[in-house]
Amino acid sequence: MIRLAALLLVSVPAWAQETINIGSKRFTESYILGEILAQTVTAAGEARAVHQQGMGNTAILFAALKSNAIHVYPEYTGTIAFELLGLKRVPELNELNHALAHHGLAAGVPLGFSNTYAFAMPAPHATALGIARVSDLARHADLRLGLSQEFLNRNDGWPALHKAYDLPFAAPRGLDHGLAYEALAAGQIDVIDVYSTDAKIGRYKLKVLADDRGFFPAYDAVLLYRLDLPQRFPSSWQALQKLERRISAEQMITMNGAAELSAVPFSKVAADFLSGSGETRQPAAGHAGRSFVDALFGRDFWRLTLQHCVLVFAALALSVALGIPLGIWADRAEHARHWIVGAVGVLQTVPSLALLAFLIAALDRIGTLPAVIALFLYGLLPIVRNTQAGISGVPRALRESATALGLPAAVRLRLIELPLAAPAILAGVKTSAVINVGTATIAAFIGAGGYGERIVAGLAVNDHTLLLAGAVPAAVMAFLIEWGFAGAERVVVSPGLRRRDNGPG
């Protein structure tokens, strides 16, 4: 007992520590910088650092920062000026901070490198067509452009570039940044947008087109943080300030290459940089051959499994709690049936990311809550429809017999209708659960964790092993749910009903 008490006393300070939540976007460099920040905060010993990996695009991270869901994340001055503040140019940091102060935010700690946008295409193809500048693209309207989704939609992205260079391309193809290089190498597209610190530019022998009209400004890497961060966590902030001017463009390219070309985990890349052992190491060509088993049962396996289970089963519980009463109401009230079934059907047609974006704005927060609500709404349809269909399928003679015996409606529902409808209701709940397992992977885009973290990270670096390490356990969970509901059916549904549903024999 004394040892246990001593252990608890020692562990109390760790649990009592406040948390600094660090965000990152859904591309390699942001993952690495986020890990560098997290490990720097951890080393300071003042607070517990949590890295919310790959949270999606700029708008989601900006909303998360303003709502205090995260405290700091790596950003670029051009993005802050054009995308977040709607400015026409990139001013000095003090002017940026004057505008950011209205949001309770600030930018600082220049990391030492700039990562601007650029256009690139295979060097032999560019040479053959005589293309060396962005303006040269205007002479080749037949070229196929594949641009990242964020670049296609941001204020300082495709719409403004299209106008500035008077380019003839109407609708470029939207691609995930991590997959664009492979699509280019496969000949599926001709031109992509790149970041100037991308390690794959050299690997794929691309020609970076000159920005001859000076459209792209300098995108200096800085920290975008909440104004109260330095006061709340002075030691952690002091440690973060020591990163100022410490990362050169060459070092950033090397770190990106280690993650993308050698499949070194982001945490290891960050640790090597901070220790000094990885600052000049060049990555080997090709992936390092990390085994699927190692990726599957990595240190984050149980954390991601717990997060995925919370998302799936919390949402399922809410769907059951509302879906079954709605199904009963739809059976009882014929005039409301069309509206109830129609409404839950419409929810299924809303794109998942659009629903998440709406919930983030409505709740003013990211993470588990908006993800669970989204999954809860998606899971209603099969439960409502199966409940309504199951109860309406109860033979009319049985209902009339129960009424003749004087049973109240509530007792009739509990003792006769729901037990007879149980197979259909259980099938609907099972379908909802299986849908939730797959849909829950999108929760990683808003910092809710789960197996989607691996899938998103795998997309960022085009690491098929990491992708499978996220997809396979999700598929196994879906299979286990199917098996579990088969067992539950043997307990909940009477043998006579099971024989009737399964047919004779």
Q: Please, what are the averages of pLDDT over each run of 10 residues along the chain (505 residues)?
A: 42 61 92 97 95 85 88 95 90 94 96 93 95 95 91 86 91 84 91 92 91 90 97 97 95 92 90 75 48 86 94 96 95 90 91 82 82 94 95 84 79 86 92 94 85 84 84 94 86 63 45
Indicate whether 311 and 342 sit together in one domain: yes
Domain that holds residue 231: 15-114+219-288
Is 324 among the domain residues? yes
Is 494 among the domain residues? yes
What distance in Å separates the CA atoms of residue 243 and residue 236, rounded to the nearest whole number? 12
Q: Please give the tally of structural domains in the chain.
A: 3
pLDDT of residue 499: 53
Backbone angles phi, psi at 173, to 5 degrees: -80, 135
Indicate whether 106 and 129 sit together in one domain: no
Tokens at 190, concatenated: 């001709």
Indicate whether 107 and 125 sit together in one domain: no
Helices and strands, number each (H, E), in the chain: 26, 10
User: DSSP code of 449?
Assistant: -
H/E stretch holding 371 reads helix 368-378
Indicate whether 108 and 187 sit together in one domain: no
Indicate whether 338 and 391 sit together in one domain: yes
Q: Amino acid letter at 346?
A: V
Indicate whether 398 and 460 sit together in one domain: yes
Indicate whether 105 and 156 sit together in one domain: no
Contacts of residue 273, defined as CB under 8 A and 6 or more positions apart, other chains included, come to 36, 247, 251, 255, 279
3-state secondary structure at position 460: helix
**Cα–Cα distances in angstroms (integers) from residue 403 to residues 188, 333, 410, in the given order:** 68, 18, 11
Is 294 among the domain residues? no
Indicate whether 174 and 26 sit together in one domain: no
- Give me the residues paired with residue 105 across strands: 226
Residue with tokens 């910092």: 447
Is 296 among the domain residues? no
Q: Report the b/e string of 479-498 with b at 16+ CB within 10 A.
A: eebeeebeeebeeebeeebe
pLDDT of residue 494: 66
Indicate whether 343 and 253 sit together in one domain: no
We report the CATH number of the domain holding residue 99 as: 3.40.190.10
pLDDT of residue 359: 86
Residue 289: CB atoms within 10 Å: 9
Closest CA to 148 of 64, 28, 34: 28
Is 92 among the domain residues? yes
